[in-house]
A and B are shown apart, each in its own frame.
Chain A
Amino acid sequence: MRSQAASYASQVDVAFWFIFIVSTILLTGITLFMIFCLYRYSKKRNPTPATFDGSIFLETLWTVIPTILVMIMFYLGYEGFLSMRQAPADSMIIKVYARMWNWRFEYPDGRKTDKLVVPLNKPVKLLMYSEDVIHSFYIPAFRNKEDVVPGRENFLWFKAIEEGTFDVLCAEYCGDLHSYMSTTIEVLKQEEYEAWEKGIVLEIKGEALKGKEIFHGKGACMACHSVDGSKILGPTLKGLWNSKTIVIQDGKEREVVANEDYIKEAILNPSKAITKGYENIPMNAYKGILDEKDIKALVEYIKYLGDNPK
């Protein structure tokens, strides 16, 4: 996390360390002065108190010096802020859609992803929209965040200067699963980025692709279900197709085969039979949200995940 992965991150850190050092010096001085007074001017050592009670010189001094210090701080913050807000004109535009509780990204050529992948050393400008409540797009390694407010288009730009994968978090409280509303940003070398750009289009086709879009879009399934075998909130969908699963139905355990009928029922009416081990995390029922065609596509996608363990 200590990486300064965006071009302006070091400027933010300079402002931080300036204020930190000034504060530490002042706090140490103030504390030592208090301890000194307790010792030197204790009742025992100084039975007769002094009588002075004011000094125009001192009042001026401790008005002027702090004023200068805070103006330097303001200026450092202002300077860094300008770098953080002035996106170069040739920035690549990526649209960011936030909703409870996931992020979706839309690239200029129409590709949609749930992870952000960007090229190294290229300015990127995110245009951000919320579909429900206020979220906040936060990359700690970049030292930047911007709220994503419904009804507004907010932006955040960066030029990633370090390769690697960094956390993207939601920083504005948005309900039950706020702390799970995270994804990653992967910074790739130009050639790798181009390969990724091609790869993601070729990877998946037809109905399964539609299903994938619903999975990341309308259905927002990826907020709770992974496709790579990892456990998020709900069970992973990798290898689910035609597998045998234990579910709890009417308080009793039952073994089912995850075929088309089961998956359809599990989407439309999930609380009827809950996969063992997930009883405490109820899933929303999708009746009325997804139609017959959507579910068909999702089934194709799940099939694809089962056939294609990637």
Chain B
Amino acid sequence: MDVSVSYNQEKTAYPGIFGWIFSTDHKRIGVLYLLSIATFFIVGASIGVVMRLEMLTPGQTIVQPRTYNALFTVHGVIMIFLIVLPGVPSIFGNFFLPIQLGAKDVAFPKLNILSWWLYMTGALIAVAGLFVGGGAPDTGWTFYAPYTLKSATNIVMPLFGAFILGISSIITGLNFITTIHRMRCPGMTWNKMPLFAWGLYATAWIQVLANPIVGITLLLVIFEKVFDIGVFDPSKGGDPLLYQHLFWIYSHPAVYIMILPGMGIISEILPTFSKKNIFGYKAIAYSSMLIAIIGSFVWAHHMFTTGMSDIARIVFSFLTFLVAIPTGVKIFNWLATLYGGSIEVKTPLLYALVFIFQFCIGGFTGMILGTLSTDLHVHDTYYVVGHFHYTMFGGLGFALLGGLYYWFPKMFGKMYSEKHSRIALGTLFVGFNTLYFHMLIMGWLGMPRRYYDYLGYFQTLHVTSTIGSWILFVGIFYMMGNLIHAGLKGEKAQANPWGGTTLEWKISSPPPTENFEEIPEVVYGPYERKGGQE
């Protein structure tokens, strides 16, 4: 095979789009995920804009209560299950993990394309559920019992869709664990592995270990709904708190599934643009594992107001605070990486810095939620909504976009306009913070979440927040237009436009199908700048 042909130009066994959707090439699968996720994101974000529009005035603005309840449920389901959960691992993990490890593909390429098919199947079942049976679910994305069991809407299909998405996620996790254990190139010891790979590794374990729990839970809800057996509904002898425990045993660690690979991206971007080795490599790598482990024992902080025993609440509050420590360690090491560098200010770096700023707000507001007394006040208010959008969108979302701007030249072989990228980032930043910071204030003032209507004195804050959603929406389209334009008309990208040191920068842009002509051998740490490594 001619190694100089790039993966996206190569002649495949199937013509056109079939050469992509039946491809077992990890890079093509990464791109498939990118396009699928971007499409769902536009849908999810549009629903978000409609929700904010409804909040413009008290009482009815544009939709009925039931429609509003369906909107926030569908927004949550799409954003969580179709975007942030698969997000970074399935786009950039697929595309870059094998390359960063110096491998030709993941361990199980066929399972890899299967995971995309399962993802699409799950997504389509969930989306189809909106239009058949009782219509779009109105339960909130958390599907709490017993409300979900009593709801007349179609919850079986979205739940079954989510169940299938879980299988897709487990397969990706297994694939990555095996790839990382077995396919690192010669010389790449665990402590010479790029930090992005470490983030994926920690995440993969949570995917494999925690996903089955939520899978079973969702099936139990379906069984209870369809066969009328009492697992979670107390009127049939079930326990609604059992549902919440099972749900959060997965769904809290899932937060780390989302954020750890995003943090991995930040750990790639900072040394590249500082032209300096990462500060505290081991601290960053092992803190990912610590976050994954401690993070698996903090789930019940979602349940401080449920009537769970006071002792349990105290223990879970304490454990929750422990997660803050490895997270802080990462942030301080990133800052120390900047210190003394020779910093080249480019869009990906700016995304990384915005990530640090916004993720810090997400983390600090998280401490108010982890603190028992303050949580009793702000639990289930807009404060929580603001907090998790700061971590998930302001953190993970901006990390993902940073990753996209960082690796775009590598993935598509084209450069984008630096000027327009910065304008887009500026718009996103202003829109994001206008939208969500006001939610934090409203929550602290006592505005409950999932409220169709609200008391008049919240209106000014709601209006400001809604204006933020318009700015953010413009930013999203500006950013997408910027990248699509670059993909079509951009200048050709060099193999290593940023001066990166990890293996993906040592091959051409876009990479050839087989990645490497010869499997490379690694001598230095991934970000060390000596011995000819840039």
Residues in A lying within 8 Å of B, measured CB to CB: 1, 8, 11-12, 15-16, 19-20, 23, 26-27, 30-31, 33-34, 37-38, 41-43, 46-55, 58-59, 62-63, 66-67, 70-71, 73-74, 76-81, 83-85, 132-134, 136, 138, 140-141, 143-147, 149-152, 154, 167, 169-180, 280
Q: Are A169 and B446 in contact (CB under 8 A)?
A: yes
Query: Which residues of B have CB within 8 Å of A27?
Result: 357, 360-361, 364
- Name B373's contact: one of A84, A132, A133, A136 (CB within 8 Å): A84
Choose the segment among B394-402, B428-436, B453-461, B482-490 that binds chain A (4+ C-beta atoms closer than 8 Å). Answer: B453-461
Residue among A53, A73, A176 with most chain B CB within 10 A: A53
Q: Are B368 and A30 in contact (CB under 8 A)?
A: no
B51 in the interface (beta carbon within 8 A): no
Q: List 17 A-B contacts (CB under 8 A).
A: A30-B356, A33-B335, A46-B340, A48-B342, A49-B274, A54-B282, A70-B367, A73-B321, A77-B373, A132-B150, A147-B307, A154-B306, A170-B448, A171-B305, A177-B65, A178-B450, A179-B453
Query: Which residues of A have CB within 8 Å of B338?
Result: 33-34, 37-38, 41
Query: Which residues of A have CB within 8 Å of B276?
Result: 49-51, 53
| Chain B residues touching A, range | 35 or more
B373 CB, min distance to chain A CBs, angstroms: 3
Q: Are B380 and A171 in contact (CB under 8 A)?
A: yes
B24 in the interface (beta carbon within 8 A): no
Q: Which of B382-431 contact A (CB under 8 A)?
A: none
Measured in the bound complex, the distance between the Cα atoms of B338 and A63 in whole Å is 19
Measured in the bound complex, the distance between the Cα atoms of B275 and A81 in whole Å is 48
Contact of A144 with B377 at beta-carbon distance under 8 Å, contacts A26-B364, A67-B325, A152-B307 already known: yes
Residue among A84, A176, A178, A280 with most chain B CB within 10 A: A178
Query: Which residues of A have CB within 8 Å of B321?
Result: 70-71, 73-74
Contact of A171 with B381 at beta-carbon distance under 8 Å, contacts A41-B274, A42-B345, A63-B325 already known: yes
Query: Which residues of B have CB within 8 Å of A41?
Result: 274, 338-343
Measured in the bound complex, the distance between the Cα atoms of B88 and A269 in whole Å is 54
Q: Which of B310-346 contact A (CB under 8 A)?
A: 310, 313-314, 317-318, 321-322, 324-325, 328-329, 331-333, 335-336, 338-345
A265 CB, min distance to chain B CBs, angstroms: 26
Measured in the bound complex, the distance between the Cα atoms of B336 and A27 in whole Å is 15
Query: Which residues of B have CB within 8 Å of A80?
Result: 372-374
Q: Are B341 and A58 in contact (CB under 8 A)?
A: no
Residue among A83, A84, A167 with most chain B CB within 10 A: A84
Choose the segment among B113-121, B140-148, B171-179 that binds chain A (4+ C-beta atoms closer than 8 Å). Answer: B140-148
B452 in the interface (beta carbon within 8 A): yes
Q: Are A85 and B310 in contact (CB under 8 A)?
A: yes
Closest B-chain residue to A144, C-beta based?
A: B376
Closest B-chain residue to A135, C-beta based?
A: B147
Query: Which residues of A have CB within 8 Å of B523?
Result: none
Measured in the bound complex, the distance between the Cα atoms of B10 and A47 in whole Å is 41
- Name B380's contact: one of A51, A76, A79, A136 (CB within 8 Å): A136
Q: Are A77 and B451 in contact (CB under 8 A)?
A: no
- Name B342's contact: one of A49, A167, A170 (CB within 8 Å): A49
Q: Are A11 and B342 in contact (CB under 8 A)?
A: no
B423 CB, min distance to chain A CBs, angstroms: 18
Measured in the bound complex, the distance between the Cα atoms of B452 and A277 in whole Å is 20
Measured in the bound complex, the distance between the Cα atoms of B367 and A15 in whole Å is 10
B105 in the interface (beta carbon within 8 A): no
B62 in the interface (beta carbon within 8 A): no
